[in-house]
Structure 1
Amino acid sequence: LPQVEKRLELVKQVSHSTHKKLTACLQGQQGLDADKRSKKLPLTTLAQCLMEGSAVLGDDSLLGKMLRLCGEAEDKLAQELIHFELQVERDVIEPLFVLAEVEIPNIQKQRKHLAKLVLDMDSSRTRWQQSVKSSGLASNLQPSGAKADALREEMEEAANRVEICRDQLSADMYNFMAKEVDYANYFQTLIEVQAEYHRKSLALLQNFLPQIKAQQEAWMEKPSFGKPLEEHLAVSGREIAFPVEACVTMLLECGMQEEGLFRVAPSASKLKKLKAALDCCVVDVQEYSADPHAIAGALKSYLRELPEPLMTFELYEEWIQASNIPEQEKRLQALWNACEKLPKANYNNIRYVIKFLAKLTEYQDMNKMTPSNVAIVLGPNLLWPQAEG
């Protein structure tokens, strides 16, 4: 039992510390019902903020739709969190509090009470023994008289109280030892409740993610710069990439006679603005008609920023070998053979670009862009080795 007494204090300390730290983990205010708890939960506040943002932006924008779906998801996560915290509070935090602040202190109070009763018993025994000595009787004789009888009864009652209290304390200590499995179960319950909470939260998120991804995939206005050609064409439902078609169309109207087209560097700010506009599929032709170099720069940037060149990594060696063939007829045939091996999307777009460049060279007397010059400035944007990536 002395070992149990020592263990009581250790268990009390551990339970008290765990109760304190576990309570600090709660996001909702302890002791409140589900509705009141929900209002003070950070996740609920976040959900409300997202839903309000969705209402402001509207469902006709992608951000509005995303905010609404994410707001609904966060609100459901908040409900799961409330249920989880209420269960942890009921099945773990409160029992730990009772153990640390009620059950063990009661046993310790019982131990102190026993110590007091032992002192009372010793005191009554001392008074009875003094009464014996003062009576002058021999130690083997019993004292007589009303006073002596009263002292003996007091001593016997004190001894009886000590025995009852000692038995009760022993029973409480043995019960404590026997209930250690129950106390340990509090912590198993904590992990089980956490596991169930995370399982439900994961299932909830997995239910929302397909909806969120579907909205993203269905949205037509996606950036095109730096994105794979096939992806852009599939999303936009086009055969020719929008930046390519838009830039070629504008150059055909206002840039064919511009000297040094594709060779002269455009204004960096104009180029950045035009690329951003092309990414949004919104271009003001009139605004850029006076700056064909910005349009040519945007076309070069789009081609160069493709993850894979228009003429593909796979055919790189074949293009290089074909271009090195001395005889013109054989060289053209080899280039045509490589062209036919291109994926359909690449073939359509390279064909579109080449036709435009052929048209551009018809104005070489004015724009100074001979076929050789065009090849020099645009070739690196149509084909490069994979190692450079």
Structure 2
Amino acid sequence: SLLGSSPTSGFSARSLDKNRVKSRLKKFITRRPSLKTLQEKGLIKDQIFGSHLHTVCERENSTVPRFVKQCIEAVEKRGLDVDGIYRVSGNLATIQKLRFIVNQGNCSISPRVFPEEKLNLDDSQWEDIHVVTGALKMFFRELPEPLFPYSFFQRFVEAISKIETIKSLVQKLPPPNRDTMKILFGHLTKASKNLMSTQSLGIVFGPTLLRAEDEMGNMAIHMVYQNQIAELMLSEYNTIFGSEEA
């Protein structure tokens, strides 16, 4: 043609540009360090939500996660007289915001604007106590292994009506599981004296705190046991935890 280029040359140049952009993007994406790499380099510490209980406790040098204690304190301060305190759901977007802030406080790759140590659950943005209870339930739900470890699930099921056996099983648990359990159930017994029965608390917390490793098994039967064991831990709290030092 007069311009010295064929009608397709513009098209092929555009394709070339597209391919260049694609390959640059691909390089950028593959060069971006993964979360695991960032964690290994110490740029991102393990987060609070979704980490193993023992990992959180080791890092905080305690046997009960700080966030669990903070939630329990907030609920006992201003939530025990709220009807259906653990049954009613808080606003999910606000719960997710709280979760994000707690995890950000543990992340040194971003400015520590919200260090978890300074998290104030009395702040007006967490005014709805159901947001705090929702975040506490979410923390336990997101544990990679539940509060009642997988290896203990069957043993608790078999000991369902033997309080002394349950007490000795609790004493055999790793300290973070045992101490967190003691504080959580101690708190829930206070909630049960108010406006939630031990039965309804068992229904709410059973599946969150106990589950079989292979959940494809007898799910319906497991659910009955989950609720019953959680209920039993509440109704027999003093017998099970009474003589223990946490």
TM-score range with shorter-chain normalisation? Answer: 0.5 to 0.7
Displacement after TM superposition at 1:246 (Å) = 1.5
Percent identity (aligned): 23
Tell me the amino acid that sits aligned with residue 287 of structure 1.
S
Q: How does 1:346-357 map to 2 (within 5 A)?
A: 346-357=177-188
Aligned to 2:175: 344
Gaps of 5+ in 2: 1-23, 106-115, 217-246
Amino acid at match of 1:295: V
Q: Distance in 2 between matches of 1:226 and 1:213?
A: 17
Report whether the alignment pairs 1:274 with 2:101.
Answer: no
Query: Which residue does 1:304 correspond to in 2?
Result: 141
Count of aligned pairs: 170
Superposition deviation, residue 289 in structure 1 = 5.3
After TM superposition, list the pairs within 5 Å mapping 1:120-199 onto structure 2.
none
Q: Is the 8 A contact 2:63 2:175 kept in 1?
A: no
Work out which of the residue numbers 205, 209, 221 in structure 2 matches 1:382.
209
Could you tell me which residue of structure 1 aligns to residue 227 of structure 2?
none
Task: Tell me by how many angstroms 1:278 deviates.
Answer: 2.3
Question: How many Å apart are 1:244 and its aligned residue?
Answer: 0.9
Partner in structure 1 of residue 190 of structure 2: 359
**Cα separation, 1, equivalents of 2:144 and 2:78:** 29
Q: Which has the larger radius of gyration?
A: 1
Quick one: structure 1 residues 289 and 226, their matched pair in 2 at CA, closer, same or farther if it must change by over 3 Å?
A: closer
Q: Contact 1:254/1:290 (CA < 8 Å) preserved in 2?
A: no
TM-score by length of 2: 0.63
Question: Partners in 2 of 1:232 and 1:385 — Cα distance?
Answer: 22
**Correspondence 1:319 to 2:156:** yes
> Which letter maps to 1:303?
F
CA RMSD of aligned residues (A): 2.5
Query: 1:254–1:289: 8 Å Cα contact kept in structure 2?
Result: no
* Code of the aligned partner of 2:204: V
Unaligned runs of 5+ in 1: 1-41, 47-65, 67-208, 326-330
Q: Residue type matched to 1:283 in 2?
A: L
- Inter-partner Cα distance in structure 1 for 2:178 and 2:127: 31
Is the 8 Å Cα contact of residues 95 and 135 (structure 2) preserved in structure 1? yes
Distance 1:288 1:359 in 2: 25
In structure 2, the CA distance between the partners of 1:339 and 1:288, relative to structure 1 (3 Å rule), is farther
Q: Deviations over 1:250-298 (max 9, x none)?
A: 1111111111111111111111111112222152322255311111111
